[in-house]
Structure 1
Amino acid sequence: MTTPADQEHDTAATEAPDPDAAVPAHRGDPPAEQRAMARSAAVVDRGHRDVLVVTGEERLTWLHLLLTQHVSELPADTGTEALVLDLQGRVLHHAAVAHTADTVYLDTEPGDGATLLDYLQKMVFWSQVEPRDASAELAVLSLVGPDVPDVLTKAGVAVPPAPHGVVALEGGGFVRRTPWPGKDAADVVVPREAKDRWWSALTAAGARAAGTIAFEALRVESRSPRLRLDTDDRTIPHEVGWIGPAVHLTKGCYRGQETVARVANLGRPPRRLVLLHLDGGDEDLPRTGDPVVRDGRPAGRVGTVVQHHELGPVALALVKRSVPMDAELTAGADDRVSPAAIDPDSYETDPDSPPPGRAARKRATGGGSAG
């Protein structure tokens, strides 16, 4: 019998291509690699990420009009995150940003760079900027763990200040400190022809060689969403925690701004990102895109699914805002349905007071309905 959940997620059974297939998934022992990230330091090859560069004297003011983040006065040697939205405020692109000297770097999901670059090039008009693809020139290595500063120092690299400092590297590239995943992290973006040399230097300095399985496990633990794994074509920034890290609420002049402001001031986002604890074996775990079900009805969407070295099988999921923290849920489809429970620490309870815009409307109407 076909259930409503099956009808809403009729493509969930088709396993999506692995976005990280181009780089090593592990270096022999994924749980040990995770433990190194949690307790010391490990380095991961993320050289499949696309990297764009934007140069020109108007680079910051121009990007400020296109991105959700406040970058018009972004100091040199500073990083951040930013989004590109559609007219309805739905997330199209997510990028890690670094500003060094006379260049802004945007590194994005594998395969996303061409589409983002096409959009940027169409928006140049008469601005004095030059966006281009540097993916063939630069490669991303990610250091994760509390010993990241020690590893960088032993490798002869100045340690950028936490959480978003950037330091340029001699010979090209930069190091960007990041607040996730894990207790500390840094992206070491290096010339692609020097990637192996940098890998050797970082491992010789004490970082354990690791793969993307370990990186993704700690990313899920930190509840840091990943575009198209933990988002769908309806996702708005408020649902997945990108307000603040990637969206500046007081700036304007970007596509989708109206939706961002309306939800922030007048309402609550329709869904929330939570961490699910799963009760299933390795072969029975749900896949990205599978439904989350409550009482036989669709309640959400499964995002990234991982085996965590301490938490066991867990997943990020977008669930309806009406789903209570203690709801009895299942996640998955077909023969991979698993009982699921929301991690209480990942569930941010809505404040008792209404959003500021709705409260203002209520006061203006003498206490009447804000709707």
Structure 2
Amino acid sequence: MAERTPLYEQTSRAGAVFVDEAGALVPAHFGDALAEYNAAQSAAGLVDQSPRGKIEVRGADAARFLHNLTTNDVLHLPPGGGCEAFLTTAKAKVVAYLLIYRSASPVDPPGFFLDVAAAAADRVIQYLDRYLISEQVEFINHTAVFAQMHLAGPRAAAILEQILGNANLPAGLLQHTEVRFDGKNKSWLRRHDALGLPGYDLVCPAEQAANIWQRLTQAGAQPLGLEACEALRIEAGLPREGADIDENTFAPEVGRNAETICYTKGCYLGQESIVMARDRGQVNRTLVGVRLPDGPVPHGSRLFAEDKEVGRITSSVHSPRLGMGLGLAYVRRGHQEVGTKLEVDMAGKRVAAEVVKLPL
């Protein structure tokens, strides 16, 4: 049975229609997904992201340990800094897509927090633990005791400033800071454009979540469900683990090399395959945007160029901005240029598709 999040009661009272997402009940919409989408675009939308995994990594060797197992530079993250990264196999197949945050306190040794996909925390800890030999590193799964929200839109910063007063909001992407919404209990505020709009992740003790949600909505944030979030995410060209990234994904195929991979950091698990792909100057397939005039199609739908299969759809929605279907798809090289005409197989029938530039 799907579990309720710490914000179930608040979102239910706001009219949420729920869906099971990775074993948790999250709002699919609040009665009008298009109105929610428009509110996020014009003002601010508020999303319950509590099911996302929250892992603390601490200990004298935490920085070096994470540095040696992830694709990005962890050793040189400043206090309050963050980065995207992958955990990969030796062949650079993705194990997990991570956001890594170094503690905002300038303590030595530094502590780290990993933000991972819903239901992924235990799997990530088990994977990390496999490589723990004699290092002084400890993993703590905080998923159940902290709630998480995402506030996105052009008024997101103004709403936070209204509630937090003179608090300095994190400015750079993935920068973060400690805040106290009630003057006492510590929460974390992270600058993160998860939906392609100016945004912030808020992580707080579960027992404080209802009060913070209420204050944000009273200040003008519109509750936002999964359907509106997916439209915004796909229009922004942002991949999601579980849809666009899985254990068969070769990390450089995702198309976020600049954000997730450091080529100068030295050895790490998967480095050889990643560097070989860079030196070849290409990968066999890449995640691209695909316009779908006949509407969204099922996950895994095959893409064809004439009679040759050249890719598969991983995510698709009705795009309010385009007024038609829009998807993300892994497409083989030679068919990735913007404007390339393709076809999607729909139960044996071919319908039109076209490669488009993202973000829209």
TM-score higher than 0.5 here?
Answer: yes
- Write out aligned runs for 1:170-185 (5 A): 170=180, 171-185=185-199
**2:55 alignment counterpart:** 52
Q: What's 2:101 paired with?
A: 98
Contact 2:77 2:102 in 1 (8 A): yes
Partner of 1:25: 28
**Is the 1:152–1:158 contact (alpha carbons within 8 Å) kept by the matching residues of 2?**
no
Q: Which amino acid aligns with 2:339?
A: D
Match of 2:4 in 1: none
- Does the residue aligned with 2:297 lie in a helix, a strand or coil? coil
Structure 2 counterparts to residues 3-22 of structure 1, below 5 A = 18-19=21-22, 22=25
3-state SS of paired residue (2:98):
strand
Amino acid at match of 1:175: L
Q: What residue is the counterpart of 2:172 in the other structure?
A: 162
Runs of 5+ consecutive residues of structure 1 not aligned to the other structure: 1-16, 348-371
- 2:92 equivalent to 1:89: yes
1:232 Cα offset (Å)? 4.4
2:267 to 235, 250, 253: 253
Q: 1:309 aligns with which of 301, 320, 326?
A: 320
Q: Could you tell me how far 1:19 is from its partner in structure 2?
A: 4.1
State whether residues 41 and 147 of structure 1, in contact with CA within 8 Å, keep that contact through their aligned partners in structure 2: yes
For the residues of structure 2 that align with 1:174 and 1:37, how far apart are their CA atoms?
22
The range that moved more, 85-94 or 332-341, is 332-341
Shifted more, 331-340 versus 238-247: the winner is: 331-340
**Would you say the 8 A contact 2:41–2:197 is kept in 1?**
yes
Once residues 214 and 20 of structure 1 are traced to their aligned partners in structure 2, the CA distance between those partners, rounded to angstroms, is: 20
When structure 1 is superposed on structure 2, of 305-314 and 43-52 the one drifting more is 305-314
1:300, distance to aligned residue in structure 2 (A): 0.4
Corresponding residue SS for 1:245 = helix
Sort the Cα spacing of 1:232 and 1:99 in 2 relative to 1 into closer, same or farther, 3 A: closer
CA contact (8 A) 1:287 1:332 kept: no
CA separation of 1:193/1:176 partners in 2, compared to 1, >3 Å: closer, same or farther? same
What's the offset of the Cα at 1:201? 1.5
* Cα gap change, 1:345 to 1:166, in 2 (>3 Å): closer
1:210 aligns with 2:210: no
Q: What SS class does the counterpart of residue 24 from structure 1 fall into?
A: strand
Q: Distance in 1 between matches of 2:23 and 2:229?
A: 11
Aligned to 1:322: 334
Alignment of 1:328-339 (within 5 A): 328-334=341-347, 338-339=351-352
Q: Give percent identity, aligned residues only.
A: 29
Structure showing the higher strand proportion among its residues: 2
TM-fit CA distance, 1:64 = 0.6
**SS of equivalent residue, structure 2 residue 239:** coil
The aligned residue for residue 340 of structure 1 is 353
Instruction: Give, in whole Å, the separation in 2 of the partners of 1:336 and 1:257.
Output: 42
TM-score, scaled to structure 1:
0.83
Q: What is the alpha-carbon root mean square deviation over aligned residues?
A: 2.1
Deviation at 1:345, TM superposition (A): 5.2
What TM-score does the superposition give when structure 2 sets the normalisation length? 0.85
Change in Cα spacing, 1:340 to 1:177, as seen in structure 2 (3 Å) is: same
1:55 CA drift (Å):
1.4
- The whole-number CA distance in structure 2 between the counterparts of 1:235 and 1:223 is 17
**Cα offset, 1:236, TM superposition:** 1.9
Q: 2:125 aligns with which of 110, 117, 131?
A: 117
1:63 is aligned to 66
Residues 98 and 176, structure 1, Cα contact 8 Å, conserved in 2: no
**Separation of aligned partners in 1, 2:210 and 2:302:** 41
Q: For the Cα contact (< 8 Å) 1:59–1:129, is it kept in 2? A: yes
